[in-house]
Structure 1
Amino acid sequence: MQISAKADYAVRALVELAADSERPLTCEAIASAQDIPFRFLKSVFRDLRAAGLVRSQRGCEGGYWIGRDADTITVAEVMTAVDGEFFTLRGVRPDALDYPGAAHGLPELWRSVEAAAHGVLGGTTIAGLAERGVRVPARRPAPDVRDAPGVPA
């Protein structure tokens, strides 16, 4: 299974928006934060906006917001929004495949692969990914004064 750059960029952009939902983020800021080519990200946002996954506002106070609650947006939904069909084999959905002879059972394998991928990606939300990505600064342990020079043990 190959995941397109467009799907990868779309998920990363939405996770970035979900992680900082207090204010709109510019396409430039998201592209920079995620190391995504700006021009490509603009086309990704067009698809995301058409699917209702982001909303935008023009102007100096403008930018992009996540279109709805990040807990309700799954990775599978994002992939479908930017790439069309979720899973195809040479452009054909697995449920439409029919092979002759000894390979007759192969479409069932492809349907199982699709179901497994959809189970994982359909069960993973943008909010869940944003929560996993929040980096909590490592807390340094308080220095033990007994280890300080000149302090008797």
Structure 2
Amino acid sequence: MFAMRLSARVDYALRACLALTEAGDVWTSAERVATAQQIPAKFCESILLQLRRGGIVESRRGPDGGHRLAGDPHGISLADVIRVVDGPLVGVRGQRPEHVDYTGAAATLQDVWIALRANERKILESVSLHDVATSNLPEGVARLTADPSAWT
């Protein structure tokens, strides 16, 4: 069985971006983001810096400074944030699925990993920060969460 694991860094990065989505165009301090989302302050600062370097967040110094999203939250997908923080969506032992080489009975595992990545990408690229912040998930994603077996 496949167990999807998101790092604490990805979880915090998504939550920080959602706090900035909620703030709109208001410059928001790292401290306020950390407090709002219960993220350790130093970790939050590090994540915001990484998100700035990745083009997701913009920052401004000074008394009226802080952080805000660099683009429209409708156009920033969860996949965009995850890629900035953790790199490719699905990896096998640190490699992209298409670069893993299996032999014999395991050869078709590569196809499974590629299919898994395609499905994960389809979901994560279809959900924007705005969708999550407004509790308005795309219909296909909402339908998946309505299936009781999805929760076990």
**TM norm structure 1:** 0.83
Q: CA deviation at 1:123?
A: 0.6
How do 1:43-54 and structure 2 match up within 5 A? 43-54=46-57
Q: What SS class does the counterpart of residue 8 from structure 1 fall into?
A: helix
Distance 2:74 2:60 in 1: 22
In percent, how many aligned pairs have the same letter? 35
Query: Secondary structure at 1:10's aligned position in 2?
Result: helix
**Matching of residue 104 in structure 1 with residue 107 in structure 2:** yes
Q: Counterparts in 2 of 1:29-68, with a 5 A limit?
A: 29-68=32-71
Tell me, in whole angstroms, the C-alpha distance in 2 between the residues paired with 1:96 and 1:17: 36
- Structure 2 residue aligned with 1:20: 23
- The structure where helix makes up a greater share of residues is 2
Q: Is the 8 A contact 2:89 2:120 kept in 1?
A: no
Distance in 2, matches of 1:59 and 1:12, equals 24
2:121 corresponds to: 118
Secondary structure at the aligned position of 1:132 is classed as coil
Which one has the largest radius of gyration? Answer: 1
Give the AA of the match of 2:117: E
Map 1:49-88 → 2, pairs under 5 A = 49-88=52-91
Give runs of ≥4 in structure 1 deviating > 2 Å.
Answer: none
In the alignment, residue 31 of structure 1 is paired with which amino acid? A
SS in 1 for 2:123: helix
* The one of 116, 127, 130 aligned to 1:127: 130
CA–CA separation in structure 1 for the residues paired with 2:26 and 2:106:
54
Alpha carbon RMSD of aligned pairs, Å?
Answer: 1.2
Distance between the aligned counterparts of 2:108 and 2:25, measured in 1? Answer: 51
Query: How far apart in 2 are the matches of 1:73 and 1:22?
Result: 15
SS at match of 2:108: helix
Greater relative CO, 1 or 2 (CA 8 Å, sep 6+): 1
1:59 CA drift (Å): 1.1
1:142 — aligned with what? none
What is the CA–CA distance in structure 2 between the aligned matches of 1:22 and 1:73, rounded to whole Å?
15
Q: Distance in 2 between matches of 1:87 and 1:103?
A: 18
